[in-house]
């Protein structure tokens, strides 16, 4: 009898092992890294014209692992890639993003004010200082291997199509200069409708406004999110959940938190706390914290999972020659 049962028992053990392995695999956070990812902030806006397809392509060529982008919404409710609520500072146009249709906004030159030195988006330089000006509108030939459209404002759909295997971080911005919470909720709904059609697990959606993150997650629960300021504070300061659907925390090194002043957020203790709870840690730079090797070294030492830098080629060179501590090598 026992001999007859052995094959059956063996199959049961194998099946249970497979189930256990699958369950374990399901809990793995793909955003956790033993050595930080090079995350191109706005496509690396200190090296390339920010939030252009040209920048996104170039940042990956120079060593980026992931794209960090901001999204807004046009007058006809198309999700686009644009950091500011107006087009004044970066493009050849003026006015709020929400005042343009997609067709209208894509006629603008999105590299119009980018220069390679000094204040990269200053409007006070001679025309010769802006090397990519005129490519989007056909007045100048694009660099070899690129198109005029690579220097225009891209839609979220175009970016997802162009980078089907590249991890992407999308930050929900406001709709107008007033940046009322209703605008964030509107944009969250537009983005959720856009991403509900996309079957990808390598996208993170975030916003400073926690209600926008919550609204997006409610409508597109299959897409991972990072918390807003309130969700971050709930977890780090008060020991509560940062929200449902969260896979990563994305703070700066220090942050001017209302009522507390500027506090250090990306400490070794807070990062360890996030990792213990199963979350990845991806930082960006703000205020007095420079986006340079001084800060990068600090984040590597603290087992950061991703560094959002405006200088992806410099960060790539730094990460190549810098080792993470042995304590960072275990990925849950």
CA–CA distance, 53 with 51 (Å, rounded to integer)? 7
Q: What does the pLDDT look like over 107-147, one tens digit per residue? A: 999 999 999 999 999 999 999 999 999 999 999 999 999 99
pLDDT band at 164 (very low <50, low <70, confident <90, very high): very high
pLDDT band at 27 (very low <50, low <70, confident <90, very high): low
Whether the per-residue pLDDT at 1 is higher than 60: the answer is no
User: What is the gyration radius of the CA atoms in the chain, in angstroms?
Assistant: 22
State the greatest distance between any 2 C-alpha atoms of the chain, in Å, as a whole number: 91
Q: pTM value? A: 0.90
- Tokens standing for residue 282: 């991806």
Instruction: Look at residue 13 in the predicted model and tell me its pLDDT.
Output: 34
CA–CA distance, 275 with 32 (Å, rounded to integer)? 8
DSSP-derived secondary structure for 216-270: HHHH-TTS-B---HHHHHHHHTT-----TTB-EE--BSEEEETTTEEEE-S-HHH
Of 293, 302, 249, give the one whose Cα is nearest residue 35.
302
Instruction: Look at residue 330 in the predicted model and tell me its pLDDT.
Output: 62
202: phi then psi, degrees, rounded to nearest 5: -105, 35
- Tokens standing for residue 111: 């590299």
CATH number of 31-86+155-325: 3.20.20.190
**Boundaries of every domain in the chain:** 31-86+155-325
Residue 310 CB neighbours (<10 A) = 22
pLDDT above 90 covers what percent of the chain?
85
Q: What does the pLDDT look like over 249-269, one tens digit per residue? A: 999 999 998 888 999 999 999
Q: What does the pLDDT look like over 65-119, one tens digit per residue? A: 999 999 999 999 999 999 999 999 999 999 999 999 999 999 999 999 999 999 9
Residues 302, 313: contact at Cβ < 8 Å? no
Kindly report the average pLDDT of the chain as a whole number.
91
CA–CA distance, 72 with 78 (Å, rounded to integer)? 8
pLDDT band at 12 (very low <50, low <70, confident <90, very high): very low
């Amino acid at each position: 009898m026992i001999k007859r049962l052995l094959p059956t028992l063996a199959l049961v053990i194998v099946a249970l092992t497979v189930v256990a392995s699958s369950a374990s695999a399901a809990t793995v956070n793909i955003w956790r890294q033993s050595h930080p990812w090079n995350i191109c902030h706005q496509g690396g806006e200190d090296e390339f014209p920010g939030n252009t397809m040209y920048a996104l392509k170039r940042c990956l060529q120079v060593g980026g692992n992931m794209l960090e982008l901001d999204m807004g919404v046009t007058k006809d409710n198309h999700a686009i890639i644009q950091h500011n609520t107006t087009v004044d500072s970066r493009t050849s146009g003026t006015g709020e993003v929400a005042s343009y249709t997609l067709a209208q906004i894509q006629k603008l030159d999105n590299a119009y004010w980018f220069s390679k030195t000094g204040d990269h988006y200053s409007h006070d330089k001679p025309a010769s200082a802006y090397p990519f000006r005129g490519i989007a509108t056909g007045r100048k030939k694009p660099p070899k291997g690129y198109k005029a459209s690579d220097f225009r404002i891209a839609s979220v759909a175009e970016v997802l199509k162009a980078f089907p295997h590249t991890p992407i971080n999308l930050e929900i911005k406001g709709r107008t200069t007033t940046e009322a919470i209703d605008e964030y909720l509107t944009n969250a709904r537009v983005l959720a409708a856009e991403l509900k059609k996309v079957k990808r697990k390598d996208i993170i959606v975030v916003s400073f406004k926690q209600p926008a993150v919550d609204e997006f997650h409610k409508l597109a629960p299959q897409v991972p999110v990072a918390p807003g300021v309130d969700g971050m504070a709930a977890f780090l300061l008060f020991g509560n959940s940062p929200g449902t659907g969260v896979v990563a925390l994305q703070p700066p090194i220090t942050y001017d938190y209302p009522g507390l002043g500027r506090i250090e957020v990306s400490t070794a203790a807070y990062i360890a706390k996030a990792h213990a709870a199963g979350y990845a840690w991806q930082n960006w730079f703000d205020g007095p914290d420079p986006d340079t090797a001084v800060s990068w070294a600090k984040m590597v030492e603290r087992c950061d999972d991703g560094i959002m830098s405006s200088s992806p080629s410099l960060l790539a060179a730094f990460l190549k020659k810098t080792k993470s501590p042995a304590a960072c090598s275990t990925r849950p």
